[in-house]
Structure 1
Amino acid sequence: MKKINKILLASAMSALLAQPAYADIRVTNPKKVGMSEARLERIEPAMQAFVDQQKLAGTVTLVARKGKVVHLEAVGFSDREAKTDMAEDTIFRIYSMTKPITAVAALTLWEQGKFQMNDPVSKYLPELANLKVYAGMDGDKMILEDTNKIMTIQQLFTHSAGFSYGFSQSPVDKLYQQSALFSGKTKRADLLTEVAKLPLNHQPGTKWNYSIGTDIIGVLVERLSGQTLGEYFKQHIFNPLKMNDTGFYVPADKKDRLAQIYVINQQGQTVPMENEPLGDYLSAPEIESGGGGLVSTIDDYYTFTQMLLNGGEYKGKRILGRKTVEYMRTNHLPASLIPFEPSAPGEGYGLAMSVTVDEQGANTMGSKGDYGWAGAASTYFRIDPKEQMIIISMTQLMPSSYFSYNKDFKNMAYQALVD
């Protein structure tokens, strides 16, 4: 009988391993998926050290492999001053981690033949038909020239269209900072009209410059679908995947779960932030920002990333085709634009996410082809198809690159691989 039981158990295990790598938020024994439990246990004290040193209020970190969560830990506080413990269901402003979700929404329309990647942007968004390009300064006067290349939809995805974000002190970015776009008073219907008043930072396709390109992709989704971006997200992504805590604002009955956001002050201290970007996230925004407007939880975002790792499908709900996901996570920048910026050695850029093209040149552990992005308040994710691994970290601190916690977390996740 014991022999029969062993045979039955072995058969059951073989059948289980043969199933698709679906996500399971319950924490699994790491040994079952080739990871060291002892090594994963290094993550919690490392994150706690950032809390103890008053650098971060708190974090939630997740590691999954082969469809199984092997590490999920909350440390510190979601609101340090109120002594509210960080929890697995804490809601975070994910800012630019909105971009991959917007890209997926647009790709569902691409799959239906609603647009092609090399289509001119102006074919669908005529407000952007006659943009000018910054060509230098003549004293205090800005020199502008006509575009000499067609701006394509793919360039919006890859931040090579010529738009900017207003983050620097360049002449173009100073215009962005003065624009009505960032006043919080622009109406949804006037968004592209305001964009068209600004010159491009460079000729389309010639440089990589982090930008409002994904926000414009969001407008494209609205134009092609006839729905608001939030409605389209809900119908085609959030509802099928049961991402119930992800949206453009936090409902009143969930507001206690929204983490406090922090900033580094002039003395280098981590303090609560006032006048946070894009509003307080407690009411529906006038403009649903495809580039940075969502809130989410680590559970919800894990579901989204597991869908991508599964090739576009999660628990029987297919969002994208396998080849579409492969296209999304493929580098689309020419060699001359890699790395896309000095702080990202070894990195190219896919659609709304960076992708490792040279793992030897990268400054953290990883694999060629691993991909992901981060948010302005230090949220972070990475998906590794080669290792079938996902890592996600959530906190709320601006600027996102001030401390090394994401790099530390990524290295600690990878050093736990033993098979």
Structure 2
Amino acid sequence: MSAQTATKPASGPQTPPLPEAKPESLGLSPLRLRQMSDVFRREIDKGTLPGATILVARGGQVGWFEALGKQSPVESRPMALDSIFRIFSMTKPIVSIGVMMLLEDGHFLLDDPLAKFIPEFADQKVGVENNGKLDLVPLKRAITIQDLLRHTSGITYEHTGNGLVQQLYQQSRVRSRKITNAEHAALVASMPLICQPGAEWNYSRSTDILGRLIEIVSGKSLGAFLTERILAPLQMGETAFHTAAENAPRLAEPFADDPWNGDKIQLFNMLEKPVMESGGGGLVSTTMDYARFAQMLLNGGTLDGVRIIGRKTLELMASDHLDPSVEIKGTLTQPGHSFGLGFGVRTEIGIAPFSGSVGQFFWSGMGGTFFWIDPKEDLFTVFMSQAPGQRVYTRTLVRNLVYAALE
């Protein structure tokens, strides 16, 4: 392995590693990659994050894979290559691929109405704020499956703002891990939308609803479907909605208090099996597991001779799906970027405050994880940490440092 200080995997199911090569043979500067690791060591020494893993692959081979810092701030155990992380919203691309696999199987069309499969959504209204009260107005058109994939459904998240609709989410059981996916979908359907479908991009629980859609169409639990159709074929044996008790020594944990603002940090227990299998943020995984998923994406839908998704279907997913009439809310979609079907996508070489290529697609997790695929450079990177408050900073930092290493 190019990074010599990494701790080798110990117990647990062994994910087949991707092929390795010396970074210089892949057009990656060993000096710049070492400098990248030094930068993150400085951040760890400053107390910005407990530890991290960084995997950089190009041309189908891993040129850099390193584990830095501690796995947990309250233990002396070093971060390991096989440490287990909550990947939160990096669950969304996996579930979105699952949805598009069912589309390829002919079960629905992208412009099918969601209510065709989950009837509770047929009676939904839009909540319009008026003098501190919510006026409920009819839908101008139905929510479609495409809306869910590109976050233009009008569904929202309770933590992305404090409007009256978001307050209804905050007061509900929508965050509970003890309700079923069916109960969660019915709960979301019982609350008004934040806008008309197709009018705005609002990051949301839409992918959780897609998880329920998968269950209805496939007749299986979301976890069973993902394992059968994606995780097992890709040999991602460490990725699931919880992990076994014997893996407790491998769990990556955050600081108890945010190092920048002092806020308490409380993330879910990875050893506890949830009732709700959250398609929007419930998976746990390892760096190499997710790297296998990323390599499949970079390969156009295949890995080790196994095709997961069609080449043209993936091309559709990694394209811009927000026309100019869609108002982008929030800061997750950066300047020079847009959103596809389950991925953020880069649309401009400039404008954004960090390096990249047009056609790059990616997503991140609120716990501090991040990945991106750059087809132009035949490159992908997986970054894993459990530092929620620093996630915007670290994912911009790792992007700049990896691109600086390209020869």
User: Normalising by structure 2, what TM-score?
Assistant: 0.92
CA offset digits 1:39-82 (Å, max 9, x no partner): 11111101101100011000100111110111111110011211
Match of 1:247 in 2: 240
Query: What count of residue pairs does the alignment treat as equivalent?
Result: 390
Question: Highest Rg: 1 or 2?
Answer: 1
- Say which of 45, 69, 76 aligns to 1:76: 69
2:154–2:200 Cα contact (<8 Å) kept = yes
2:49–2:254 Cα contact (<8 Å) kept = no
1:296 aligns with 2:285: yes
1:322 aligns with 2:311: yes
Give the drift of 1:362.
Answer: 1.3
1:114-153 superposed matches below 5 A? 114-139=107-132, 141-153=133-145
Match of 1:356 in 2: 346
Give the drift of 1:136.
Answer: 1.5
Match of 1:398 in 2: 388
Match of 2:365 in 1: 375
Match of 1:66 in 2: 59
1:281 aligns with 2:270: yes
- Counterparts in 2 of 1:192 and 1:290: CA distance versus 1, 3 Å: same
Give the drift of 1:263.
Answer: 5.7
Structure 2 Cα separation of the partners of residues 228 and 261 of structure 1: 30
2:50–2:254 Cα contact (<8 Å) kept = no
Give the drift of 1:411.
Answer: 0.9
1:50-199 superposed matches below 5 A? 50-139=43-132, 141-167=133-159, 168-199=161-192
Structure 2 Cα separation of the partners of residues 313 and 400 of structure 1: 33
What is the identity, as a one-letter code, of the residue corresponding to 2:137? E
Give the drift of 1:342.
Answer: 4.2
Q: Which moved more, 1:37-46 or 1:241-250?
A: 37-46
Match of 2:10 in 1: none
Give the drift of 1:157.
Answer: 0.4
1:93–1:295 Cα contact (<8 Å) kept = yes
Structure 1 Cα separation of the partners of residues 137 and 199 of structure 2: 15
CA offset digits 1:133-167 (Å, max 9, x no partner): 0112234x311101012211100001100000111
2:178–2:274 Cα contact (<8 Å) kept = no
1:25 aligns with 2:15: no
- Say which of 250, 258, 261 aligns to 2:254: 261
Q: Secondary structure at the match of 2:71?
A: strand
Is there any run of 5+ residues in structure 1 with no aligned partner, and where? 1-22
1:54–1:270 Cα contact (<8 Å) kept = no
2:201–2:326 Cα contact (<8 Å) kept = yes
- Counterparts in 2 of 1:363 and 1:311: CA distance versus 1, 3 Å: same
Structure 1 Cα separation of the partners of residues 331 and 242 of structure 2: 34
1:337-356 superposed matches below 5 A? 337=326, 341-342=330-331, 344-356=334-346
Structure 2 Cα separation of the partners of residues 117 and 267 of structure 1: 42
Q: Secondary structure at the match of 2:353?
A: coil
- Counterparts in 2 of 1:266 and 1:364: CA distance versus 1, 3 Å: closer
What is the identity, as a one-letter code, of the residue corresponding to 1:372? F
- Say which of 293, 296, 299 aligns to 1:307: 296
- Counterparts in 2 of 1:399 and 1:191: CA distance versus 1, 3 Å: same
Match of 1:415 in 2: 404
2:127–2:135 Cα contact (<8 Å) kept = yes
Structure 1 Cα separation of the partners of residues 262 and 67 of structure 2: 22
What is the identity, as a one-letter code, of the residue corresponding to 1:254? N
Q: Secondary structure at the match of 2:80?
A: coil
Q: Secondary structure at the match of 1:189?
A: helix
Q: Secondary structure at the match of 2:363?
A: strand
Q: Secondary structure at the match of 1:335?
A: coil
CA offset digits 1:384-418 (Å, max 9, x no partner): 0110100111000123546x222111111111111
Q: Secondary structure at the match of 1:79?
A: coil
- Counterparts in 2 of 1:367 and 1:341: CA distance versus 1, 3 Å: farther
* Matched-pair identity in %: 38
Structure 2 Cα separation of the partners of residues 340 and 108 of structure 1: 29
Structure 1 Cα separation of the partners of residues 145 and 346 of structure 2: 23
CA offset digits 1:361-390 (Å, max 9, x no partner): 111100001010100111000100110100
Structure 2 Cα separation of the partners of residues 199 and 296 of structure 1: 34
1:211 aligns with 2:200: no
